[in-house]
Amino acid sequence: MAELQPDEAAALRAALRAEAAAGGRAPRAAVRAEPRAPVRRYDFRVPDKFPKDVLRQVTHLHDGMNRALTTALSAQLRATVRVEDAVAEQRTYQEFVREAPDPAILAAFSAEPLVGSALLDVDPAIAFPMIDRLLGGAGEGLAMGRPVTEIELTVIARVLTAVLEAWREAWVHIVPMRPRILGVETNPLFTQLVGPTEIVLAVSMVCGLGRQEGRLRLCFPHAMVEPLMERVVARQWATRAAEPPGSRREDIRRELQDVEVPVSVEIGRARLPLGAVLALRPGDLLPLGVPVAAPARLRIRGQPKFRGRVGRRGRHLAVQIIGFEEGD
């Protein structure tokens, strides 16, 4: 048997001591930690009962409701009303009620054939101007934190009915429903549709009348709308499949209506040597080489599009379009 050299024996004793210190386990090679994927928080007390595609489609449905409601309320109030910015999200019932003002205008309603009842919350900040308008005022009534009177509740019931009718029309392709107001409360604590921690589908919209603005909110318990979720998703795919080829183009066109583009008017051009340009001074005349009666050229984003006649409107210069640019 070969004898160990002194340095080899010392190394062996050191290895044995290290193993004993590790509790009898041989030392392990260092393992490089793999990068971890981002961690998403999940609250098991509030499970995701409404998938994202359902929330997107519900938001789309209520965008259509906003357009119909804008027309209906404008006609009813004989004033310009805007309803916009629909957002659908999952909340707990306690969170929904906590955001309601006190006093509030909370209308519980049924929607047969759905089982159960839902809530419509009208912000007093917009409800009082509507009441003022319906009673013949200018629509400037402000909520002062006071309770709504019985007469005012009777008046605002016309607005509540209009909101539910627009909601019914928005959902008619999913399921025909018959909404009916069950009662109106002004104290959020008295509207206990479900338990505080129950999941609800909350939809909020911004409503404006003149300079006044407030929120319209809808609350649907999960048990009430759960039978409709498959239909909502199916409707989404059916709508995409049935969409005519040109409809997307029309949607894009509508979205671009409010995009601002630069418009310039060119009455003539001139080419000068650099020396002449450097010698230009205030008061110099610059011949443009075009007749006085020649039409101006209207450019859209630098591209010639129209021909026009330069004139004046009031105290401002203006251009009257007389035709298209040649080649358009």
> Is 172 in contact with 179 (CB distance < 8 Å)?
no
Q: Give 168-186 as a DSSP string.
A: HHHHTTT---EEEEEEEES
Tokens (6 digits) for 199: 């999941």
Whether this prediction's pTM lies above 0.75 is answered by no
Q: What's the pLDDT tens digit per position in 33-90? A: 555 656 656 555 556 788 888 898 899 999 989 999 999 999 999 899 999 989 999 9
Q: What is the mean pLDDT of the chain?
A: 83
Render 204-253 in DSSP notation, one character per residue. Answer: EEEEEETTEEEEEEEEEEHHHHGGGHHHHHHHHHHHHHH--TTHHHHHHH
**156 neighbors 148 (Cβ within 8 angstroms):** yes
Q: Dump pLDDT digits (tens) for 291-326.
A: 888 888 888 878 888 988 888 888 888 888 888 887
Task: Name the phi and psi angles at 229, rounded to 5.
Answer: -65, -40
261-278 pLDDT, tens per residue?
Answer: 888 888 888 888 888 888
What is the percent of the chain where pLDDT is above 70?
Answer: 81
> Is 127:217 a contact under the CB 8 Å cutoff?
no
pLDDT tens digits for 111-158?
Answer: 999 999 999 999 999 999 999 999 888 887 666 678 888 999 999 999
d(C-alpha 225, C-alpha 220), whole Å: 7
| Residues sharing a CB contact under 8 Å with residue 196, sequence separation 6 or more, in sequence order | 92, 93, 94, 97
Whole-angstrom distance, CA of residue 144 vs CA of residue 315: 45
Domains of the chain from N-terminus onward: 52-243 (3.40.1550.10), 262-268+291-328 (no CATH)
How many other CB atoms sit within 10 Å of the CB of residue 81? Answer: 23
Return the sign of the alpha-carbon dihedral for residues 277, 281, 286, 292: positive
What pLDDT does residue 2 have? 56
